[in-house]
Amino acid sequence: MKKIFVDYRKCVACKSCETACAVAHHPNGSLFGLVGDIRTQVNVRVLGVEHEAFPVSCRHCDPAACLTACPAGAIARDAASGAVVQNPEKCQACAMCAMVCPFDAISFKHTHRALPGREVAYKCDLCHQRLAQGHAPACVQACHSGALVFKVSEPQREKRAVASLKVYLLGEGGEPPLFALHRELRRKTFARRRMGKS
């Protein structure tokens, strides 16, 4: 199965993934259609933790704790993609799924897919409908810096392990020097702000 891999060190915090996700899941299907629409659903959020940024979304676990926990049977697995998909029409908004999610990737809101006047759970659906048409998930397609990639697990794991080992064993690769400097300066700025030393 293909999964969305996150390399947070490559995340530039531009939030292109958030915007692309919002557009892909909006009934209007355009950026300008969703501006000011409070029912817009964004399934990935770039969270700032000190100087680091991390795009958080559903990991589509297998087995999935949310799927087992949901008393309404509103969460199911998409056979073709393996995605854990939430059905807003069955959702009772009991929040069992959110409580058991190890990644805090489930939010609640009156989305466009919710029944009238109802708050429902919503989360990443792996863009399984786009996948069926041969496209990558919207967030992955939008990511310029390689922080999000959509790959089959094992070869991707091996590729990343080799890349890391090249840095470790051969001193090759790694970040471009000025980007490394940028990250280091960001880290220092945040550290000083937290510790009260500027």
Partner 1 sequence: MCPRADHRSVDPAAAAMLKISDRDGFETAWSRLEAQQPQCGYGQLGTCCRNCSMGPCRIDPLEEGPRRGVCGANADTMVARNLARMAAAGSSAHSDHGRKVALLLKEVASGRNTDYTIINPDKLMVVAGRLGIATAGRETLAVANDVADVAIGCFGAQGEETIPFVLGYMPKKRLELLKNLEVTLSELTGARIGLLPRGIDREVVDIMHRTHFGCDADPLTLIAQTLRCSFGDGWGGSLIATECQDILFGSPTVRTIKANLGVLDAEMVNVLVHGHEPVLSEKVVEWARSPEMTAAAKAVGAKGVNVAGLCCTGNEILMRQGVNVAGNLLHSELAIMTGAVEAMVVDVQCIFPSLADLSSCFHTRFITTSEQTNIPGSLHIQFEEHEANAIARRIIQTAIDAYPNRNAAKVYIPQETEEAMVGFTVEQVVGALGGKLDPLVEVIANGTIKGVVGIVGCNNAKVQQDFFHLSLTRELIKRDILVLGTGCWAIAAAKAGLMNLGAQQLAGPGLKAVCTQLCIPPVLHMGSCVDCSRMLVLTGALADHLGVDTSALPVVGSAPEWTTEKAVAIGSYFIGSGLPVHLWPVPPVLGSPVVTKILTESAKDLLGGYFFVEEDPEATADRMEAIIMEKRAGLGL
Handedness of CA 9, 12, 15, 18 (dihedral sign): negative
At residue 170, the 3 state secondary structure works out as helix
With respect to partner 1, which residue has the nearer C-beta, 55 or 88? 55
> Could you tell me the two tokens for 124?
């990443």
Rule CB under 8 A: is residue 5 a binding residue for partner 1?
Answer: no
Rule CB under 8 A: is residue 176 a binding residue for partner 1?
Answer: yes
Exactly one of 53, 67, 83, 85 binds partner 1 (CB under 8 A); that residue is: 53
Q: What is the DSSP letter of 25?
A: T
Residue span binding partner 1 (CB under 8 A) among the ranges 7-15, 24-32, 62-70, 127-135:
7-15
Cβ–Cβ contacts within 10 Å for residue 103, how many? 13
- The minimum distance between CB 174 and partner 1, in angstroms, equals 11
End-to-end CA distance of the chain: 46
With respect to partner 1, which residue has the nearer C-beta, 1 or 47? 47
CA dist list (Å): 185 to 83, 165, 189: 39, 25, 6
- The minimum distance between CB 109 and partner 1, in angstroms, equals 19
In 48-111, which residue ranges form alpha helices assigned H by DSSP?
65-69, 96-100
> Could you tell me the two tokens for 38?
């409070």
Distance CA 8, CA 158 (A): 18
Q: What's the number of CA atoms in the CB half-sphere (13 Å) around residue 138?
A: 24
With respect to partner 1, which residue has the nearer C-beta, 144 or 157? 144
Exactly one of 10, 77, 112, 130 binds partner 1 (CB under 8 A); that residue is: 10
Stretch 111-150: interaction string toward partner 1, x if CB under 8 A = ---------------------------------xxx----
Residue 185, φ and ψ in degrees, nearest 5: -65, -40
- The minimum distance between CB 195 and partner 1, in angstroms, equals 7
- The minimum distance between CB 50 and partner 1, in angstroms, equals 9
- The minimum distance between CB 18 and partner 1, in angstroms, equals 11
In the complex, the residues that contact partner 1 under the rule CB under 8 A are 10-15, 46-48, 52-53, 144-146, 175-179, 181-182, 185-186, 188-189, 192-198
